[in-house]
Amino acid sequence: MAIGIGVVGCGMIAGFHAKAIADANGAELIGGVDRSPDLAKNFAEKNGCKAYNTLAEMLADPAIDAVSICTPSGVHMDPAVEAAQAGKHVFVEKPLEITTERCDKIIQACEKSDVRLAVTFQSRFHKSSQIVKKAVDEGRFGTITMGDAYVKWFRTQEYYDSGAWRGTWALDGGGALMNQAVHSVDLLLWLMGDVKEISAMTTTATHERIEVEDIAVATLRFANGALGVIEATTTAFPGTLKRIEISGSLGTAIIEEEDIKMWQFAHEHENDQHIRDTMIGKTETGGGAADPSAIGHHGHTMLFEEFVAAIDEKRAPAIDGHEGRRSIEVIEAIYQSAKSGQVIEL
C-alpha cells in the first residue's frame, strides 16, 4: 500500500516534491496546505490532490502517513514537530532547519514519536557522488589531502525581492551559504568526514535589502588531517555549476553537478576509462546556478523512494536528521567565525 504524503508549504519547491512523489514507487500525494489558501488551492488543482485549510486538518486525515515540509527554511521546525507528535513521518526540504538547536528539536520529536525523519540532500544520490564516495571508502585517493566545495552562483536583486522571507536571518537562516551552498557542504562532509576547525569571512557585496551574505569563504581542517575550502556566492554572473574537488596522494576527482570532470589515480582500475567516458554530460539542467527553478526532480524521486523503504523497513532513512544536522553545524561555525574573526573548533 502506498504511503500517503501531504505537502506543507505550497511555494516553488513544493512543485518539485509533487512531481517526485508522483514518480516515486510506493508514494502517493494526498494534498497540500499553506498559510495562503490560494497557494494551496492552486497546488491542489495543478496536482490533482486535496487542499487542506489548516495543518491540523491535514494531520487529522488518516490518509496522511507522512508530511513533506516545503516552508521557508526557518519555519521547518514547528510543522515538523507537530507532524511527529501526530504520528506522521517527516520529510524535510533542505536545510533541516537554520540552527542546530532547531534541528535537535525536530530530531528529538521524531525519535520520541518513533517516526522516520529524512532530509533532502539529493546530491548524494547522483551517480557521480556515489562513484566518488566508493573511491573514498576504498582508499583510492591514498592520504586525502584536500576537500573543496565551490558554489559560484548568481541571483538577481529581483530574486531576493520576490519574497519577504528571502535574505533574512529569521527565515532564510543565512545567505549564499545556508540557502544555496548547503547541498555542497553536505556532500563535502559526506565525502571527507567531520570538520575540526573553521576560519571564515563573509560579506554582502552587490545585493541590497538583504540581511545575509552574498559571499562566504571558509578554510577547513578536517578530522582526517586534510585541509579544504568552501566558497559560496550568489553574485558571480552568470553562475556556474557547483563543484566538489577531492585530492589525495594517489588521486584526484572533480565533480561538477552530476558530471565527473576529472578522474585520475596513480593506480588505474579497469573501469576508470569507462567512468571518464560516460560521466561527462550527465547534467541536464542549469543546476540552479542562475535560476533556482532550473533543477530536475529525479534526485527528489530517489529520496522519496528511499524514505518509503525506510518507513516500510522500520529503519532510519539514509539521510536522517542526524545527517541533515551536520551541514548546519558547519555553517553555524562559519557564521560564528566570520562574525568573531576567530578560528572555531568543532
Nearest C-alpha neighbor of 64 from the set 301, 303, 300, 311: 311
Give CA separation, 74 vs 96, 100, 121, 343, in Å: 9, 12, 17, 26
AA identity, residue 327: S
d(C-alpha 328, C-alpha 337), whole Å: 14
pLDDT at 148: 98
pLDDT, tens digit (0-9, with 9 covering 90-100), for 327-336: 999 999 999 9
Beta bridge partners of 321: none
Nearest C-alpha neighbor of 171 from the set 248, 255, 97: 97
Domain 123-294+328-345 part of CATH 3.30.360.10: yes
pLDDT at 149: 98
d(C-alpha 119, C-alpha 126), whole Å: 15
d(C-alpha 160, C-alpha 107), whole Å: 30
pLDDT at 292: 73
HEC string for 251-291: EEEEEECCEEEEEEECCCCCCHHHHHHHCCCCCCCCCCCCC
**Residue extents of the structural domains in the chain:** 3-115, 123-294+328-345
pLDDT at 283: 81
What the block records as the C-alpha cell of 90 is 517527516
pLDDT, tens digit (0-9, with 9 covering 90-100), for 115-163: 999 999 999 999 999 999 999 999 999 999 999 999 999 999 999 999 8
Low-confidence ranges of the chain (pLDDT < 70): 293-294
DSSP string, 34-74: -SSHHHHHHHHHHHT-EEPSSHHHHHH-TT--EEEE-S-GG
Residues 6+ apart with CB under 8 A from 268: none
Residue 237: which H helix or E strand, with range? none
d(C-alpha 177, C-alpha 169), whole Å: 12
CATH topology of domain 3-115: Rossmann fold (3.40.50)
